Amino acid sequence: MSSNDASTDVEVVEEAAEPDTAREAVVEQLTAELGDAFVASHLEPGIDLTVRVTPEAWGDTGAFLRTGMGFAYFNFLSAIDWMPSPFGRDMDSQVDLTLGHDEKSEIDSTIETGTTGGDTRFQVFARVNDIVNHLAVTVKADVPDDSLTVPSWVATYGGANWHEREAWEMFGISFDGHPGLRHIYLPGEFEGNPLRKDYPLLARRVKPWPGIVDVEAMPGDDDEDDASTSADAGGEP
């Protein structure tokens, strides 16, 4: 239980004592193939590996992982919106209040990206497995803020088709070369990208008393109201 400096030092030595040669080899191979396009990597020995590549190299990375390195299994593809929610840290959940957060506390809008860093608001990430050697790698890439487009993986992994449709629908990220980007979960006329952080989750909003205050009038009623009020307004003077 004593947490002095000596014991933490020993732990670090223990972790360093078992280097993860298999995952390090993956990093080396990817660095050799991609060169400058390989941006960063995050390796947890014995557990997991995350690498980050440039958006231009996103498509080539997938192709090389499958054909050149034996990562034949497509696990998933999705995106992360790193922009902090404009509605507050914990959005509008009650836990903010119970822990003494000031409700009017400033909303920190600086973008902090995860373990492998990043420069843009959106990142796409995908995971592929090498089921023979029991290795897996998560690949990330920044999505350019001005175009929100990255190359598609469909030609490499057939399973990426639906995952890219989902990412397109939920985040508004386009995939260059995808055979048919259309809605997968939401109705065709749906507007907005629900998994973006600035898309409000209205179900959690507490409305002021008496509860429902912003009921929209039915279209028919609306016209009548307008007509009557305008008639009144016109008639009175």
Secondary-structure breakdown of the chain: helix, strand, coil percentages, each rounded to the nearest 5: 35, 20, 45
- For position 99 contacting other proteins by CB under 8 A, the verdict is yes
The answer to whether the CB of 230 falls within 8 A of the CB of 119 is: no
230 binds other proteins (CB under 8 A): no
Nearest approach in angstroms of CB 75 to other proteins is 6
Whether 175 contacts 149, CB under 8 Å: yes
- Our finding on whether 222 is near other proteins (CB under 8 A) is no
Of 24 and 96, nearer to other proteins (C-beta) is: 96
Choices 4-12, 83-91, 215-223, 227-235 (CB under 8 A): range interacting with other proteins: 83-91
Cis, peptide link before residue 210, omega less than 30° from 0: yes
- The token duo for 211 is 């509860």
80 in contact with other proteins (CB under 8 A):
yes
- Mark residues 34-73: x for contact with other proteins by CB under 8 A, - for none: -------------xx-x---------------x-----xx
- Burial class from Cβ neighbours inside 10 Å (0-12, 13-18, 19+) for residue 159 reads middle
> Least distance from C-beta 230 to other proteins, angstroms?
41
Burial class (CB in 10 A: 0-12, 13-18, 19+), 224: exposed
As measured in angstroms, the least distance from the Cβ of 234 to other proteins is 47
| Footprint (CB under 8 A) of other proteins, residues 124-153 | 125, 127, 131, 134, 138
Our CB check for other proteins shows the closer of 180 and 210 to be 180
Number of chain residues interacting with other proteins (CB under 8 A): 46
Residue 233 CB coordination number (10 Å): 9
Burial letters 172-211, b for 16+ CB under 10 A, else e: bbbbeebeebeeeeeeeeeeebeebeebeeeeeeeeeeee
Eight-class DSSP state of 170? H
Residue of the chain from 15, 25, 76, 221 that contacts other proteins (CB under 8 A):
76
- Residues near other proteins (CB under 8 A) are 47-48, 50, 66, 72-76, 78, 80-81, 85, 89-93, 95, 99, 112, 114-115, 125, 127, 131, 134, 138, 156-159, 161-163, 170, 183-187, 194-195, 199, 201, 204
